[in-house]
Amino acid sequence: MAAKKQKSRKKTSADLESVRGQGGELHQQRSEGTVLSTNDGIAIADNQNSLAIRPGGPTLLEDFVLQEKISHFDRERIPERVVHARGTTAHGYFELTDSLAEFTTARVLTVVGARTPVLARLSTVVGASGSADTVRDTRGFSVKFYTDQGNWDLVGNNIPVFFIQDAMKFPDLVHSVKREPDRGFPSASSAHDTFWDFISLTPEATHHLLWVMSDRGIPRSLRTMEGFGVHTFQLVNANGDATFVKYHWRPHHGVAALTWDEAVTLAGADPDFHRRDLWESIERGDQPGWDLGVQLFTAEDAERFAFDPLDPTKLITEEDVPVRIVGRMVLDLNVENVFAENELAAFSPMRILPGMDFSADPLLQGRLFSYLDAQLHRLGGSNFQQLAVNAPRCPVANYQRDGFFQGRPQGGRVGYEPNSLDEAGPRETPGGFASAGVNSEGSKARWRPATFADHYSQARQFYRSQAPFEQSHIVDAIVFELGKVETPSIRHRMVANLRQVDESLATRVAAGIGLAEPPEASPTAVPVRDLPLSPALRYASKAEPTLRARSVGILVAKGTDLATVERASASAAAAGATVKIVSPTIEGVTAEDGTHLAADCQLSGTTSAVFDAIAIVLSAESAETLCTEHAALDFARHAFAHLKGIGVDEGGRRLLHAAGIRADEWVVDLTDPDHFLTVAAERHPEREPSVRNLP
C-alpha cells in the first residue's frame, strides 16, 4: 500500500534531476555554459545571421546551419502548421485597374480588366488550430493568384514589418512565443516569460512589438484589417530593368479594431468570431474586398532612404513613397470543405511569376527555403501542387516523375532534359522566369549589414505618430503582458529598452507595473533618431465612420414598441449594417401591439461584444424585469465600456441607470434615427477615461 502511494506521488524537481542524471549526456547538454552546436555536434560560431556573399547579399544554399535549424523547425508539428495553424480561407478574384507594364511583364499586373481567380487565407500566427480568433497576435494575410502564367503567392501579414531581420532567428522567435515546453501553456498568447525574455534581448523586434501591442494586434474583423507583403520584392520589365516594390492590401470595409476587454470577451463567448464573420459576410452577399497597392522605388531611391529597405523590421512611410492602387480583390465564395481548401492549401513566397523577383532581404531568403520544406513535410511529399487547391490553372509540363500521390499521366520513355527522344516535350523558353542581375562579389561570411543596426528610430516614429488614445492602448497592452511575466529582470530589461523608443512610454509602462522609474537603458549600436511623424501610421486615421459591413444588435423584450424597433432596424440596414434582434428567449417576444417579434439571438448567450453598436427598446414592465437580469445589465455595461454608440427609448434608459451607466453624448434617443446612425458608425475613444484607468 505504501509502495503504491509512493509511485503515485507528484514528481519533484529532484526526481527529474535524478532521471536526467541516469542519461548523463542529456544532463550535460543542459548544463550552464555548453557550446551551441548542430545536431551533428558541430560548434556554431554565429547563430544570429545567415551566410551571405556580402552584407545585404543573397543567402547561400550551402548554409547547413540555417538549413538544419529551419528544416527541424518545420517538422516540429505533425501535421498541423507550426505557425498560422488557425486560419480560414475563401475564394474570389483579383481585377487589375492600373497597368504596371512599364515595370513588369507579369500579366496579372499588366492586363487591365482581367480577372484572376484567387484563394485568400487569413490567420493568426501563434495559436494552434483550435485556439480563439480574437487573441492579440500578428495576422497572416496570404493570397494565391491562379494566373495564366502559373501560381503567384503573395504571402504577408497585417503588419508591414516583422520581429526579426534574419531567418536564422525565426525558430527562436516562434519557440519563445509558443507554449513554454516544460508546462505546455499559455496557448495563443505572448503574455509570458519566454517571449518577453527573447524580445527584451532582441532590440530589432521593438518596432514590430509596438505594432502588435497597438490596436492592429486585435482587429475587429478579418474584413477590416490591412495586409502587407512585408518584404521588399522586385518587378522586372521587358528590358530587364528592376524596380523595388512593397505590396499593400487596403480593406473595402474600412479598418476597425477591438478593445482588449472586448477581444477577451469574444474569445470566450465565440472563439470562432472572425471566421464566422467572414463566412457569414460572404454568404449574405456582403462581399469583403481589398484594394492592392504598391510602393515602387528604384535602387537609387533606396540609397537615399535613412534606412535599408531590405531590412524587414523597417517600413517606407506613405509620406515618403505614396501607395499606388493598381487593383482590387473580392472574396465571393466560401470553401466547401475546410480540410481540402484550407488545411491542404500551401502558400510560399517562392512562387512568383516571370517579371517578378526577390530581393536580398535575409529573412525573405530564408523563407524561400522554409515554406517549401514545410510543405514537403506537412503535405506528405513532392506532389502537393497537384492537390486541387494548390494546382495551377494553366498548363504544367516538366520531367519530374513519381513520388507520393503522383496523379498526372506520365507516359513515354523520357524523364530528363535535354533529350532528343521527345521532340514535342517541354523545353526552356526565353519568356520564362529569369532573375534580375545582382552584384555577388564579396567575402563569404555570416553578415548582418551595418545598415540594419538602427533598431529604435522607426519604433519611435511609429509610437509618436499615434493618436493619444492609441498610445494609451499600446501602454496598456504592454503593462498587461509584462504583468504576466514572473521574472523581474525580464520586466526591468524590457522597460529599459522602451526608453530608447520614448521616455514617456517607458515611464508610463514602469508606473503600470509598479516601478518607481524606468531602469537605465543600455547603449545602442547607432544613435536613435527623431524621424518625421507619419499620420498614415495611425490606425485611427484610416477608420472612417461607417455602418457598412458593421452589425447592430437591438435588445427587445415583452411589450417592446414595434415601431421603434422597425425604425431603428430599417435605418441601420439602409446604412449597410447587419441588424440582429436580441431577446430573452430565442423564440422571440410579443410586441406591445400583440405582434410576434422573431429573435436572431438569445440574450443569455449573446454578448454585446459581437455588435458594433446597440439599441435597447424596452417597455416599462420589461425594463423593470431586465434590471434584475445579469445578462441584460452586462449587455449594456459592455457596450458602454467598449466605447460603442447606444440608442435607447425610455425603457432602455432605465436599464442603463440600473447598470450604473451615466449616459454621455454617445447614448442617444431612438426618436432621432439619424442621430443614432451617427453615433453607431464609429467607436468613441473620448469615453475611455470615464470607463478605464489607463496607465
Which active-site residues does the annotation give? 84, 157
Where do we find the cell 479598418? 255
| Helix ranges, 313-352 (H) | 338
Indicate the SS3 state at residue 276: helix
CA angle 225, 178, 466 (to 5 degrees): 35
Amino acid at 103: F
Residue 101 class from Cβ within 10 Å (0-12 exposed, 13-18 middle, 19+ buried)?
A: middle
Locate the DSSP E strands across 514-659. Answer: 551-555, 578-583, 589-590, 596-597, 601-602, 613-616, 646-648
Cα–Cα dist 312/246, whole Å: 11
For residues 440, 441, 445 and 450, what is the CA-based torsion angle, rounded to 10 degrees?
Answer: -90
Q: Which residue(s) pair with 329 in the sheet?
A: 94, 290
Locate the DSSP E strands across 21-168. Answer: 51-52, 87-96, 115-124, 139-147, 150-157
| Reduced DSSP (H G I as helix, E B as strand, rest coil) percent helix, strand, coil of the chain, to 5 | 35, 15, 50
All cell numbers assigned to 660: 450604473
Residue 637 class from Cβ within 10 Å (0-12 exposed, 13-18 middle, 19+ buried)?
A: middle
Radius of gyration of the chain (CA): 28
Q: Minimal CA–CA distance to 213: which of 516, 480, 454, 420?
A: 480
Q: Are 310 and 360 in contact (CB under 8 A)?
A: yes
* Three-state secondary structure of 526-559: CCCCCCCCCHHHCCHHHCCCCCCCCEEEEECCCC
The set of residues, in sequence order, having a beta carbon less than 8 Å from that of 585 and lying 6+ positions away, is 599, 602
Cα–Cα dist 465/82, whole Å: 34
- Reading phi first (left if > 0) and then psi (alpha if -120 to 50, else beta), residue 355 is in left
Cα–Cα dist 254/221, whole Å: 10
606-635 burial string, b = 16+ CB within 10 Å, else e? Answer: bbbbbbbbbbbbbbeebbeebbebebbbbb
The set of residues, in sequence order, having a beta carbon less than 8 Å from that of 644 and lying 6+ positions away, is 608, 611, 612, 613, 614, 666, 680, 683, 684
